[in-house]
Amino acid sequence: MKRIVSLLLAFAAVPALATWVPTADSTTSAPKFTDGNFVISWNTGNRRFQYVSHDSTVSTVCDMETFCTDCTAAGYTYPTRAATYAFSGKAGITRVVLPEECESLYFNAFASMPDLESVVLPSRLRWVEDVGNHRQIFSASPKIATVTPRGVAETNGVAYFPVTVTKLPPNTFQNMKGTALKHVIAPWAAPAGDAVFQNCYGLETVTVKDLPAIYTLLFNGCSSLTNIVVLDRATPFAGVSSFVGQQQFQGLSSWTQPLDFSASTFTSLGVQTFDCKRVSEYRLPATLTSLTKQAFRCDSYALSVPRRIWFYGPPPTFYWQSGDPDYIFWAPATPRQVVFVPEQYAVAWTNALSNHGTWTAIADADRARADYPTKLEDVMVKIRGPKYDLVPTKVKDSDVLGLSTEGCVGRPYYVVQWREATPGTVLLIK
């Protein structure tokens, strides 16, 4: 975290600042101030300010750095919050610099602004009230390229949040379908609701303090996302204790890393949790007890690689309902599904799946070769451990516990047991 902060912190030279003065129609209950172009008003009761007007042929930059100071000098109690829809939908504004005294941003504060490119936040911005009041703050503003607190150097393509921000509200960057924003850095915060990054097409990296829960649509539609950094964890998903809702990882068409939740502690996955075009490997925790329908979904495209799903514990409950085609492995593109389980749970898996009519146990290697000759074609593992470092090994037919089409729209998947060569050994798919 210190390295990230040190790379970003830098104080720029102070430019000439505009003076804000009361307009001719200002009143004590709803004062209006202008810098000669932009007009800003606020409600003296809730102290929330609101954009009124500007002439984009004069300026497209709303610099409010001295706004509160000038309000005080004129005898007014200055606002401390950006109101709901404060600048929402306004065209012809490319940059907004908020006053240092601003504490909170509310619903849609900078949403749907077609020309907005950068926002300078107060260094002590706080979202102190119910997080639901702060939804969609930057939503659907496609050109945003920088979001930075005062005192931090602006870096093109980076949104960076100050130490006072400990939560990223729901829908914060939802539907920012432009490609200007590449990296969101919230080194003191965790996502705190649904769809925080949904449909951020250009987003490549997310850096947060922690990731205790993964909410509905959290990374949905992030087609350029390739990296998630969680500063408080050795691996990104080690602290995940729950999946809330559905469709959290749909549409990650650029993500190629294994999605490794082996150190997580969540117990269930929701509808259509995963739909990742290039992910070849999933690792699920021993705490997992249930999988909802279409948890692993391959929608409209053929996979370039087969999926390997590793379960580290006894079999969870698989969604299945007679006549319902929305099974666990909903896969019209016919990927091969291979499920790996630890050897000590082989009997539990066999017993659990034998309760389903679509389960076929494979008793011996000869039968496996005769009945399912292509089932494990090209499946290799690398055994990593003190005595077996990087030795490639073929998964043997005798390791196959059985074949199942349960929960897979008629597409078979194979349950394979794996053995740890030594304590701490990790098996990796080649």
pLDDT in tens, 90-130: 999 999 999 999 999 999 999 999 999 999 999 999 876 55
> Alpha carbon of 51 to those of 33, 223, 407, 430: distances in Å?
10, 33, 53, 57
The whole-angstrom separation of Cα 138 and Cα 305 is: 36
| CB 391, CB 354: distance < 8 Å | no
Helix (H, G, I), strand (E, B) or coil at 5: helix
List of residues 6+ apart from 408 with CB closer than 8 A: 327, 328, 329, 330, 331, 337
* Strands of 48-53's sheet in order across: 21-22, 32-34, 39-43, 48-53, 81-82, 104-105
Provide the greatest CA pair distance for the chain: 92
| CB 293, CB 319: distance < 8 Å | yes
| Residue spans of beta strands (DSSP E) within 300-366 | 307-311, 317-318, 329-330, 337-342, 359-361
| CB 213, CB 244: distance < 8 Å | yes
Helix (H, G, I), strand (E, B) or coil at 69: helix
In this predicted structure, the answer to whether residue 371 has a pLDDT above a threshold of 80 is: no
In this predicted structure, the answer to whether residue 306 has a pLDDT above a threshold of 60 is: no
Q: Note the pLDDT of residue 373.
A: 47
Rg (alpha carbons) of the chain, rounded to whole number: 27
Give the pLDDT confidence of 375-412 residue by residue, as tens digits. 555 566 666 555 555 556 666 767 778 777 766 665 67
Select the highest-mean-pLDDT range: 155-159, 246-250, 315-319: 155-159
CA angle 134, 71, 17 (to 5 degrees): 90
The whole-angstrom separation of Cα 251 and Cα 221 is: 5
DSSP state of 190: E
Mean pLDDT, rounded, for 360-377: 59
